[in-house]
Structure 1
Amino acid sequence: MNTIKVLLIDDDALVLDDLRTLIQWEYYGFTIIGEAKNGKEGLKIFYQQQPDLIIVDIYMPILNGLEFCQQVMKEKNPPKIILLTAYKDFEYAKQGIRLGVSNYLLKHEIDEKTLTTELLKVKKDLLHKNNNNKIIQRQIFSQLVTQPFSTFNHSFPPSQWGPNLNHSGNMVLFLLQIDSPFFLMESLLKKIILYPPMSTISCIELLLNRNPFPQMIQEIQYIPLNELQSVVLLFFKNNIFSEQNIRTLAYDYALSIQQKFKQNNVSTLSIVLSNPLHSLQEIHPIFNRTVEGGKHLVFANKSQILWLEDIESKYYHCGDIRKEQAAIKQAFLKKEEKKLTLELKHGFEKTWKLGWDLCAFTDLCRKLFYIIESYYDQYDKNSFYEELNQTHVYSMWYCASDIQSWFVNTFKKITIDHNQYSSRIQNAIQYIRTHYDQDLTMEEVAENLGISCIYLSKLFKKETGQTFLEYLTNYRIEKAKYILRKGDYKVYEVAEQVGYKTSQYFSSVFRKNTGMNPSDYIR
């Protein structure tokens, strides 16, 4: 918690001076925010400054210490109170304890050690209370965000809300979202290895707790939704009436969070901001809209700060896209490279260039991915997922323009590869890719294709530019690199998985092709 605010009240100026100079208050996390000579002055400062701790004398003119305590302890969140007393006031001190004050100190016994010990007890109690309040407030806030207000109001009467939810000023809701690849199917996520970014649960909590509130912000509440998303609600002070000022302050605060996140993380953060809200009833509906807006960030770029209204203004229903999907599939089956590129462009333009149609975009991507996946299922299924696992590949899955480029490039590569070789060499390559982990020979491949070994050797060299053995070796080494990067197997196990009988021979071939030993490649 922030520094603990302290109010001193005593009609003796010497006592006030002694208390002020007896210890280094800031060193222990306390700040004296005011002094008063009687209970009436003390009440005025109390209502203005809302101190966390009050040290007050019992005997004072106008309003004595006990009368002061009676009034203060009626508040919803009363502060800690320490009474100052002399021996003859002991009975009064006991009355104060019954009123709920924390403790009392005998004036003639106060020294640095006594005061410090008592202050540290108070600090410990306040920290415990503050942590409990945070947990309760977060539970209440979570219900407020995720439930309709009528349900929330029934579950939590206003007496439990706390000062921030009894707030009557303006609010702005943030969706903080760590940028992540836009993947299509859960099954795909299980087939590739991803290195997840640090979660919002740890990062954003750290950011918000470390950064002091801007002067115009009264309170901040937040809840994590999942590893990648958190919701933040900013409560602005009641004296800010201009919506433009609220927007400016909210945007500046979002920008500061984003910049600090960038300084401490490899990942990037995007933020969706709601319009200013004026009542608690607005929070749940705007939360649902903001989360939906966060899904559309795929059409923007990484590290964005966008107003929800700007996102929603781009929502668009493009209509049926089955015609575009069929045209793309037809061009692919005929291996018409130029037409395929053109049809892909038309399909994507319809789903996101004219407006943001998330459903149509997702459906198009899913259909296209299925076409590619089906092709590789016939030829080399494992190499497809190995390629997806490369950093440069899944880094293209963050925004729509890059996803479009990935599909265009992938279809182009398949088309070129298919048109590049005769059907016999295509079949030979497919046989290599499905039997590379065995004791494979060119004679076996030629027999499978129904041609002579000499003819296959000449045709393979002519079309691929490599001998059969060179191609097989290079393919095995690429597979070995992938397995070694995963770090799950020892060198001799990798050797067996890629078709080598001994780890010594495998290491020799690997070193010849890469310039390093397999064990060094792992490191």
Structure 2
Amino acid sequence: MNKIILVDDERIALEHINSLLPWSEYGFEIMATATNGRSALRLCEEICPHIMIVDIRMPVMDGLALIRAVSERKLGVKFIVMSAYEDFDYARQAISIGSVSSYLIKHEVDRNKLLVELLKAKESWDADEKQRRMQRSDLLKEVITGTGLPAQLKDSPAAPPFGMLLVQRDTPFTAVPSSSERIGLDSSLNWSFDDLSRLADTTSWQLVGEFALNRNQFAALFSQKNKTLCTQRDSFKDLVASIQTHLKQHNNQSKSIYYSFHSHDSSSLRDSFRKVEAAARHAVFCGKDKMLCVDELPLLPIGNENYTSVSQNEYLEKLTEGMGLNDLVKLESAIKNQFHSLGQQLWNLPRLYETVHTLSGLLNKRYAAIGMLEIDPLASNDKIPLYHIDDIMESFILMFRKLFTSKNTQDRLSNKLLRALKYMQEHFHEDIAIEEVSQATGISPSYLHQLFKRELERTFLDYLTELRINQAKHILRHEDAKMTEVCTRVGYRSPQHFSQVFKKTTGMLPHQFRHGGYSL
């Protein structure tokens, strides 16, 4: 509802204006009336109306002085000025101030004219408010993310206690930490200031501002309107729950919300933001579609995220021993103990990345030994995206089981073909053909052709293409290299030819794959 205040020193005029419209049907609500400018100014500061309908000639403080006073306070009010014919010059001064939307002759005001001017004032207020909201959000982002000073929020409605939340679209875990680049918000998150503000209005909280962090995240700050409530933390939790319900109803992609509550001044907002942002980075420890209070999570202390509590030596020794002895039981035990230790006391994200890197290296070392192409273990699980640390653990265990029970694959590859595959894996980025591989390995080109067809059931070119495209996928997922560089690094001279081969192999162009076209 757009809030209205009527100001006129004649009661009969106030009653007449009030009776002209079914206000609520058009989205308006008369919040108060006043008979002089001084009373209207006090009401304006208390109610913060969108529109004021103001008479020019009034006692104590006239309409012109009222408009100037409200404009100086930057309250964003739009004015509809009413006067008699003889006051037109006086009204023109009011219009020149800049916050006056329109001017009406008192005795000519009827329902249609008033409605037209109200809708015009509403449109003008909405446009200005959109601009003010963008400025507030930009300022809030600067203060909270560390480039601005808390004192800059002095003119905002921000006052403790505060509630902060970060909404994050759930994405599968990857072996490389996600980039923190500040890019435009993906509209598929399906949120808006109006949605958040409306949900807050039904509670004791008010929305101070919101801003996008990147394609998958946005943050919002709330301040409690009624400071005397004892259930501040619980009431904010209820608001967060309603926001999560709204997001679920309006989008079929799962999202998690990380929130924090504190009653300190605005100087602590930056620390609160760092906590919710850190919690969102640790999403793999809690899974998807969650609503979590970050004050209760076992996060590493801010600034000590690289803390390591347990040596990796014992774990690595057990892994190496299990691989060397082909002892799957010992290997699985080492993997389970390691993953369980990662979240036993504190969520240790750096050690999780290290563990994934170690296990991926062991897998690919064994694959290379039997002539198989390297893989990204987390990205190869197309049908079951991995959101939780337990899922990652089980995925690695299954891959090692499959590897240990596929001895027939290793046995069927001849040493001659293994030598050729090793050479190709080391030189795929060069302009190689079967003749170069043949010469390097001492195998005739025709016999090498036969080995590929008989033992791998594919041609030399098929294997080389798969090798190059797999490496290109890895670069596109984890690096920000230019396409010409990617092309060169995987052995293609022409970017156009590389794009054609990539699309034929994967079904999409390289840039589409980089921007999330692949399934995880």
**Counterpart in 1 of 2:204?**
216
Question: Are 1:107 and 2:106 counterparts?
Answer: yes
Distance change in 2, residues 1:259/1:117 (3 Å): closer
**Counterpart in 1 of 2:513?**
none
Distance change in 2, residues 1:56/1:207 (3 Å): closer
| Coordinate RMSD, CA, aligned | 4.3
**Counterpart in 2 of 1:195?**
none
Correspondence for 1:331 among 298, 322, 326: 322
| Whole-angstrom CA distance in 2 between matches of 1:208 and 1:129 | 15
Q: Which amino acid aligns with 2:125?
A: L
**Counterpart in 2 of 1:303?**
289
**Counterpart in 2 of 1:88?**
86
| Post-superposition offset of 1:61 | 4.9
| Post-superposition offset of 1:313 | 5.9
Correspondence for 1:234 among 218, 222, 241: 222
Question: Are 1:356 and 2:347 counterparts?
Answer: yes
Higher Cα Rg: structure 1 or 2?
1
**C-alpha contact 1:207 1:260 (8 A) present in aligned 2:** no
| Whole-angstrom CA distance in 2 between matches of 1:218 and 1:8 | 25
| Post-superposition offset of 1:311 | 1.4
| Post-superposition offset of 1:328 | 0.6
Q: Which amino acid aligns with 1:129?
A: D
Distance change in 2, residues 1:261/1:221 (3 Å): same
| Whole-angstrom CA distance in 2 between matches of 1:429 and 1:385 | 23
TM-score, with length taken from structure 1: 0.71
Distance change in 2, residues 1:343/1:470 (3 Å): closer
**C-alpha contact 1:379 1:433 (8 A) present in aligned 2:** no
| Post-superposition offset of 1:136 | 1.0
**Counterpart in 2 of 1:75?**
73
Q: Which amino acid aligns with 1:260?
A: H
Q: Deviations over 1:104-161 (max 9, x none)?
A: 211122234432332233222212211111121111111101116xx5258x4x6xx5
**C-alpha contact 2:156 2:208 (8 A) present in aligned 1:** no
| Whole-angstrom CA distance in 2 between matches of 1:182 and 1:344 | 18
**C-alpha contact 2:175 2:378 (8 A) present in aligned 1:** no
Q: Deviations over 1:423-448 (max 9, x none)?
A: 3467699799999xxxxxxxxxxxx9
**Structure 1, 367-376 or 64-73: larger mean CA deviation:** 64-73
Matches within 5 A, 1:150-299: 152=149, 156=152, 161-165=154-158, 167=159, 169-185=160-176, 201-204=186-189, 206=191, 208-211=193-196, 212=198, 213=200, 214-242=202-230, 245-299=231-285
| Whole-angstrom CA distance in 2 between matches of 1:302 and 1:235 | 27
**Counterpart in 1 of 2:434?**
none
Distance change in 2, residues 1:428/1:472 (3 Å): farther
Q: Which amino acid aligns with 1:45?
A: L
| Whole-angstrom CA distance in 1 between matches of 2:12 and 2:338 | 83
| Whole-angstrom CA distance in 1 between matches of 2:164 and 2:82 | 45
TM-score, with length taken from structure 2: 0.72
Distance change in 2, residues 1:228/1:427 (3 Å): farther
Distance change in 2, residues 1:222/1:101 (3 Å): closer
| Post-superposition offset of 1:98 | 4.9
| Post-superposition offset of 1:405 | 0.6
Give identity over the alignment, percent: 24
**C-alpha contact 1:178 1:269 (8 A) present in aligned 2:** yes
Distance change in 2, residues 1:123/1:62 (3 Å): same
For structure 1, which runs of at least 5 residues remain unmatched after alignment?
A: 191-198, 436-447, 454-467, 487-492, 499-523
**C-alpha contact 1:57 1:85 (8 A) present in aligned 2:** yes
| Post-superposition offset of 1:78 | 4.9
| Post-superposition offset of 1:16 | 2.9
Q: Which amino acid aligns with 1:54?
A: M
Question: Are 1:392 and 2:391 counterparts?
Answer: no
Q: Deviations over 1:386-444 (max 9, x none)?
A: 99444324x12x11111111111111110111x35673467699799999xxxxxxxxx
| Post-superposition offset of 1:385 | 5.6
| Whole-angstrom CA distance in 1 between matches of 2:373 and 2:213 | 34
**C-alpha contact 2:282 2:347 (8 A) present in aligned 1:** yes
**C-alpha contact 2:162 2:224 (8 A) present in aligned 1:** yes
**C-alpha contact 2:193 2:210 (8 A) present in aligned 1:** no
**Counterpart in 1 of 2:117?**
118
**Counterpart in 2 of 1:414?**
403
Correspondence for 1:344 among 335, 356, 365: 335
**C-alpha contact 1:201 1:230 (8 A) present in aligned 2:** no
Distance change in 2, residues 1:80/1:275 (3 Å): closer
| Whole-angstrom CA distance in 2 between matches of 1:147 and 1:104 | 45
Q: Deviations over 1:173-206 (max 9, x none)?
A: 21222221221137xx99xxxxxxxx96425562
**Counterpart in 1 of 2:13?**
15
**C-alpha contact 2:203 2:239 (8 A) present in aligned 1:** no
| Whole-angstrom CA distance in 2 between matches of 1:10 and 1:283 | 44
Distance change in 2, residues 1:433/1:30 (3 Å): farther
Q: Deviations over 1:239-266 (max 9, x none)?
A: 2453xx2211221222222222223334
Correspondence for 1:321 among 300, 308, 312: 312
| Post-superposition offset of 1:364 | 1.2
**Counterpart in 1 of 2:136?**
137
For 1:260, what is the secondary structure of its paired residue?
A: helix
| Post-superposition offset of 1:76 | 3.2
Q: Deviations over 1:480-516 (max 9, x none)?
A: 9xx9xx9xxxxxx99xx99xxxxxxxxxxxxxxxxxx
Q: Which amino acid aligns with 1:298?
A: V
| Whole-angstrom CA distance in 1 between matches of 2:2 and 2:403 | 67
Between Structure 1 and Structure 2, how many residues are aligned?
446
Q: When you count helix as a share of all residues, which structure comes out higher?
A: 1
**Counterpart in 2 of 1:461?**
none
Question: Are 1:35 and 2:22 counterparts?
Answer: no
**Counterpart in 1 of 2:95?**
97
| Whole-angstrom CA distance in 1 between matches of 2:267 and 2:410 | 68
Q: Which amino acid aligns with 2:204?
A: M
| Whole-angstrom CA distance in 1 between matches of 2:259 and 2:161 | 14
Question: Are 1:371 and 2:362 counterparts?
Answer: yes
| Post-superposition offset of 1:233 | 1.1
**C-alpha contact 2:133 2:209 (8 A) present in aligned 1:** no
**C-alpha contact 1:5 1:31 (8 A) present in aligned 2:** yes
| Whole-angstrom CA distance in 1 between matches of 2:75 and 2:189 | 28
Q: Which amino acid aligns with 1:403?
A: I
